[in-house]
Amino acid sequence: MNDRPRLTVLSGPSGVGKSTVVAHLRKAHPEVWLSVSATTRRPRPGERHGTQYYFVDDEEFDKLIANGELLEWAEFAGHRYGTPRRAVMERLAAGDPVLLEIDLQGARLVRQSMPEARLVFLAPPSWEELVRRLSGRGTEPPEVIEKRLAAARTELAAESEFDVTLVNTSVEDVVAELLALVS
């Protein structure tokens, strides 16, 4: 462990496997604290309020923004997502390793407000694999998949803005590499 843990931000294109990597990391290393984002999107099957996300309506989200309670926030696929600031700062102050799993817009905002944060880019093994993953989810209509693919092209082009790139060829390998960066 470093003397003072810093915030680690995991980002990358939609469908690259961020949630899967984080779930495996947290299962093996529950001491790594994962910030839970607020979102205006509806829960997917199996998602619970306060676990995967804090599900809030637009009015509640507007209040979080107005009160400066979000470290970052962004709009994606017609929904807003944001990181509650207080919990992140409290965990860092307590010396806990903190991990954020957020999109490119959010990562850029964290870089502005916390330049000491380590930004980690999770890249797909190939574009074809990313297309397969995004199309294979089966939870979204074709127009949403098209939006996600367009966003993924933009997100992949931003890789150079990050401190470290991990290629998601194996969840186990990426988890080991990410753990070394977080702790």
Tokens of 31: 């001491």
pLDDT, tens only, 94-128: 988 899 998 888 899 999 989 999 999 999 999 99
pLDDT, tens only, 128-180: 989 888 887 677 788 888 888 898 899 999 999 999 999 999 999 999 999 99
Q: Is 154 exposed, middle or buried (0-12, 13-18, 19+ CB in 10 A)?
A: exposed
Report the share of the chain in percent with pLDDT over 90.
65
* Amino acid at position 35, single letter: S
- Distance from C-alpha of 99 to C-alpha of 155, rounded to nearest angstrom: 19
- Distance from C-alpha of 111 to C-alpha of 91, rounded to nearest angstrom: 18
pTM, whole model, 2 decimals?
0.84
Whether pLDDT at 1 is above 70: no
User: Of 109, 98, 111, 108, which is closest to residue 155 (Cα–Cα)?
Assistant: 108
Rounded (10°) CA dihedral 108, 112, 114, 116:
80
Q: What is the pLDDT of residue 21?
A: 95
Alpha helices in the chain (DSSP H): 18-28, 58-66, 85-93, 104-113, 127-136, 142-157, 171-182
Q: What is the pLDDT of residue 56?
A: 97
CA atoms within 13 A on the CB side of 12: 24
CB 120 within 8 A of CB 11: yes
- Distance from C-alpha of 60 to C-alpha of 62, rounded to nearest angstrom: 5
